[in-house]
Amino acid sequence: MRKIFHLEIKADNSHKYYGSLSALCSENPDLGISKFTLDRFDFDASNFENAICIIRKSVMKTTGSVGKKKIKKTSTNVKSKRSGSNGA
C-alpha cells in the first residue's frame, strides 16, 4: 500500500493529496511548519494541525492491496455487435 498525505487548507477549505511530504511542502511553502519538523512528526499517533492547515497521513488502497476478489460472470452467451448481422 502506498502512503498518502492529505492537506486541508483551513482558509478556503481546499483539499490536496500528495505522495510525499517533499511534494506537499514544495508546493505549499506557507503552511507555518517546516518539512524538517513534519519529517519527525508522528502521523501514526495523530494528525498535524495548526492555524493554517491540517495534514493527515493515510494509505491509498489499490486492487492489489485489498486482495483478489472473484468477478461474477453475468452472462456467458454474449454476442458481439460486430457479427455482421444488424437484426434487420
Q: What are the domain boundaries of the chain?
A: 2-60
Q: What is the pLDDT of residue 65?
A: 81
Q: In the prediction, which pLDDT does 70 show?
A: 63
- Give the pLDDT means over successive 10-residue stretches in the chain (88 positions): 94 97 97 96 97 96 78 61 56
Residue 57: per-residue pLDDT: 97
Give, as one character, the DSSP assignment of residue 73: P
Give residue 21's pLDDT. Answer: 97
CATH architecture of 2-60: Orthogonal Bundle (1.10)
DSSP 1-36: -EEEEEEEETTTTEEEEESSHHHHHHH-TTSSS-HH
pTM for this prediction: 0.72
Instruction: Name every residue whose Cβ is closer than 8 Å to that of residue 41 and which is 6 or more positions away in sequence.
Output: 48
